[in-house]
Structure 1
């Protein structure tokens, strides 16, 4: 699958039909990735392009230089997996989590780990307390 190990920008926004297996291959093939967009199309069937914690785990352990990550609408990813990414990808500057399943726990993890963060998208949350954001 490797086109070039020097690729630093990979945009799979609204792509369908890929899975954890593909994310594992991406993690193995592109060690210098700094930008990764995995946003799911909110209008596409939920069984198209499912990514779970397993695929995100490969990203977390492979991309310590990652600066941009968008996993919006990835409702199959659990909060623990998202927190693993937060703890591993300390260089994140842009993080989009719209409509993911998170709580105050994730917000606290972001606050303590993502010290370089410049943009955080939390659209679509009802489970987050104002105190966690402050």
Structure 2
């Protein structure tokens, strides 16, 4: 009896043409992959796979944040070339989505791409655009007027967005409950040096109280607010505590202009507050130039003004 070899057994299996998979089968497979994996793999395989990758059912979300979080921040991300690549991806996915996108999470996009998305994604509920140096009030106004269903907004480290945008968003997006407006660590920017352009690091927004006033006046339904390293003062914090009575979570880490007393006074208005992140660090005496004014520390210790301990 003739014995089959291993090669014979291999050859006996019928050949498969993956390009002949039905569209429905392809969609089921592609739905299990992330946006980046689809972009780098199946889209390059063949025309039928590329067409399947454009199916609107796969594009209810545009999420690059997980990819950014998986890598160390690079100076390359702050280049015009990188911004153009992100813009290209965002525009493509918006077109393919047929208006079905409810979540956009990305970084380093531009005004043009964001406005393009806002015009076509009327049911957008989540928008995270951290570290976007070229996103300004222009595109944020489009978001405010075109995306009234917005529930969550993250504009951390996007310094060209002003308090005017916060007021517009708050007024036109009544369902907004989550806001993140964190700034880079301007007290110790060493972690950003060599990565973030120096001119951008030095452009840290100074109008913390104006932003706080806009939040307090126009966002009464906020439940989660992050303002890390904001330059707001006690006045700004009071504006928030009087206008955002539904707050459950408040992050004030790095807010060097606030004292413990300021926080206690303001938080007394927030009956629903469950967690608060305090500045909770010690500012070096050199920051306040207190070497020649040691008597102020004695005053602070006696009357507990907490001028030096944040």
Q: What TM-score, normalized to structure 2?
A: 0.38
Q: Which of residues 103, 107, 110 is equivalent to 2:233?
A: 103
Confirm whether residue 26 of structure 1 aligns to residue 150 of structure 2.
no
Root-mean-square deviation over aligned CA pairs: 1.9
In 2, Cα distance between the equivalents of 1:55 and 1:110? Answer: 16
Structure 1 residue ranges, 4+ long, deviating more than 6 angstroms after superposition: none
Alignment of 1:12-51 (within 5 A): 12-40=129-157, 50-51=160-161
| Unmatched segments (≥5 aa) in structure 1 | 42-48
The change in CA–CA distance for 1:77 and 1:31 in structure 2 (over 3 A counts) is farther
In 2, Cα distance between the equivalents of 1:50 and 1:73? Answer: 12
C-alpha contact (below 8 Å) 2:183/2:227 kept by paired residues: yes
In 1, Cα distance between the equivalents of 2:157 and 2:256? Answer: 20
Q: What TM-score, normalized to structure 1?
A: 0.83
Question: Which fold has the larger relative contact order, with Cα–Cα distance below 8 Å and residues 6 or more apart in sequence?
Answer: 1
Q: Secondary structure at the match of 2:171?
A: helix
Q: Which has the higher helix share?
A: 2
Greater C-alpha radius of gyration: 2
C-alpha contact (below 8 Å) 1:20/1:56 kept by paired residues: no
**CA apart distance, 1:29:** 1.1
Aligned length: 127
C-alpha contact (below 8 Å) 2:154/2:179 kept by paired residues: yes
Q: Secondary structure at the match of 1:12?
A: strand
The change in CA–CA distance for 1:30 and 1:96 in structure 2 (over 3 A counts) is same
